[in-house]
């Protein structure tokens, strides 16, 4: 069995910087036509100059690969219309992090509500700049995303012209919210389609499956899987591939993030084929995102085949999901 994906897109990707950027950027650039690149560097990307400089570093790192980095700004509540009008020439979206909720988010927003964020969100609405949100509260870890859903809904109601992306959703509650508001959309990761909390901590702790938001219950995974397999028009693939050095993952202070970039497309093909939904994979990994973002990517054909392949144990210093294991599909060509 074989499938050709046209211009696959990763709508939520961490490329990091410096040495890590050199390791991971070519791996995404090889099989994806474009990706939304997260801005939570140290320091975060908050200026037009920083966006330009980071994009140049990415372009240098990918070498000869044909790949478009879609840049983002780290949300600030004092971005005004004039600044964002100029920034729009360089960015695709703006990413909002609740303060301290995940990796490198200390400079995020402390209170998320329509009134305190009004200046920036009004300007984004007028300029048609999408808002990407890492949606978690500071509550009990398994309830954080569910507790954040009312915040999504309040923003969606008060800024009806603002495109709001619920990033890397993990709960049934988030899937249900999609259908209640016309301007709410979502990304779903590969790993959240496959694992639950039991896979992370049900037996021996699996540090390379630990991420934020953490994997949830079986019924949550089933809701995500159903939305993806049916190619729900408001859902798109975003890997949230988040590399950390092996020593930072296999430690008492385990860093949050699952590295899936090199295996994402073959494992997705295997997953969709196992559910007899391979015909919907194109929409999940590209077509829906093109419509939501009104974006036409560079043409890139990725051919996948149901031929087993072995996942490397490590990419330089980064351990991938399924390290050292055989997966059922392979990328046979990219053109």
Of the listed 77, 82, 113, 240, which one is catalytic?
Answer: 240
Eight-class DSSP state of 319: P
- Rounded mean pLDDT of 320-324? 98
Task: Give residue 104's pLDDT band: very low, low, confident or very high (50, 70, 90).
Answer: confident
> Which DSSP string corresponds to 221-232?
HHHHHHHHHTT-
- Comparing C-alpha atoms, which of 158, 218, 174 is closest to residue 193? 218
Please tell me which residue, 258 or 100, carries the higher pLDDT value. Answer: 258
Eight-class DSSP state of 267: H
Residue pLDDT, tens place only, 275-286: 999 999 999 999
- pLDDT of res. 323: 98
Residue pLDDT, tens place only, 229-249: 999 999 999 999 999 999 999
Q: Counting every residue, how long is the chain?
A: 335
Min mean pLDDT across 42-46, 83-87, 102-106, 307-311 is at: 102-106
The order of strands in the sheet holding 164-166 is 72-74, 93-96, 131-133, 164-166, 184-188, 235-237
- Rounded mean pLDDT of 199-220? 97
Question: Is the predicted pLDDT of residue 110 greater than 90, yes or no?
Answer: no
Residue 333: CB atoms within 10 Å = 10
* % of the chain surpassing 70 pLDDT: 100
- Rounded mean pLDDT of 301-325? 98
- pLDDT of res. 149: 97
d(CA 144, CA 309): 37
Question: Is the predicted pLDDT of residue 100 greater than 90, yes or no?
Answer: no
- pLDDT of res. 139: 93
286 lies in a domain? no
Q: Which residue has the tokens 């249900």?
A: 176
Query: Does residue 198 carry a catalytic annotation?
Result: no
- pLDDT of res. 118: 96
Q: 109 to each of 2, 77, 146, 231, how far by Cα in Å?
A: 45, 8, 19, 32
* pTM, entire model: 0.97
* CB within 8 Å of 235: residues ≥ 6 apart: 178, 185, 186, 187, 188, 227, 228, 284, 288
- pLDDT of res. 69: 98
- pLDDT of res. 101: 86
Residue pLDDT, tens place only, 146-189: 999 999 999 999 999 999 999 999 999 999 999 999 999 999 99
328 lies in a domain? no
145 lies in a domain? yes
309 lies in a domain? no
270 lies in a domain? no
The order of strands in the sheet holding 68-70 is 9-13, 34-37, 68-70
- Residue 151 belongs to what H/E stretch? helix 144-158
* % of the chain surpassing 90 pLDDT: 94
Segments forming the whole domain that contains residue 193: 8-260
Q: What average pLDDT does the structure give for the chain?
A: 97
How many domains does the chain contain in total? 1
Q: 207 to each of 105, 201, 292, how far by Cα in Å?
A: 21, 9, 34
- Residue 70 sits in a domain of what CATH number? 3.20.20.140
Residue pLDDT, tens place only, 177-198: 999 999 999 999 999 999 999 9
Q: For 309, phi and psi rounded to 5 degrees? A: -145, 155
């Amino acid at each position: 069995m074989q499938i050709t994906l046209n211009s696959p897109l990763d709508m939520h990707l961490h490329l990091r910087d410096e040495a890590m950027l050199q390791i991971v950027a070519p791996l995404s650039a090889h099989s994806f036509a474009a990706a939304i690149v997260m801005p939570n560097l140290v320091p975060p990307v908050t200026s037009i100059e920083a966006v330009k400089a980071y994009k140049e570093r990415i372009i240098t790192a990918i070498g000869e690969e044909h790949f478009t980095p879609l840049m983002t700004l780290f949300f600030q509540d004092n971005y005004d219309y004039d600044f964002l009008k100029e920034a729009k020439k360089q960015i695709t979206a703006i990413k909002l992090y609740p303060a301290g909720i995940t990796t490198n988010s200390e400079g995020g927003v402390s209170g998320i509500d329509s009134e305190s964020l009004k200046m920036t969100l009004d300007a984004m609405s007028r300029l048609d700049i999408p808002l990407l949100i890492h949606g978690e509260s500071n509550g009990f870890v398994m309830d954080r995303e569910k507790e954040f859903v009312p915040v999504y809904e309040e923003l969606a109601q008060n800024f009806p012209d603002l495109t709001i992306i619920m990033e890397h959703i993990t709960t049934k509650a988030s899937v249900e919210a999609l259908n209640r508001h016309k301007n709410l959309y979502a990304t779903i990761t590969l790993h959240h389609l496959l694992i639950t909390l039991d896979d992370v901590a049900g037996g021996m702790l699996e540090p390379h499956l630990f991420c934020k938001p953490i994997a949830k219950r079986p019924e949550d995974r089933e809701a995500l899987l159903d939305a993806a397999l049916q190619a729900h028009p408001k859902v798109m693939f975003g890997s949230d591939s988040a590399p950390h050095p092996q020593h930072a993952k296999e430690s008492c202070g385990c860093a949050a993030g699952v590295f899936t970039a090199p295996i994402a497309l073959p494992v997705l093909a295997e997953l969709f084929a196992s559910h007899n939904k391979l015909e919907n994979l194109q929409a999940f990994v590209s077509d829906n995102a093109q419509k939501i973002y009104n974006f036409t990517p560079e043409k890139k054909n990725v051919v996948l085949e149901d031929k087993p392949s072995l996942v490397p144990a490590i990419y330089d210093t980064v351990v991938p999901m399924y390290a050292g294991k055989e997966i059922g599909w392979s990328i046979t060509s990219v053109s």
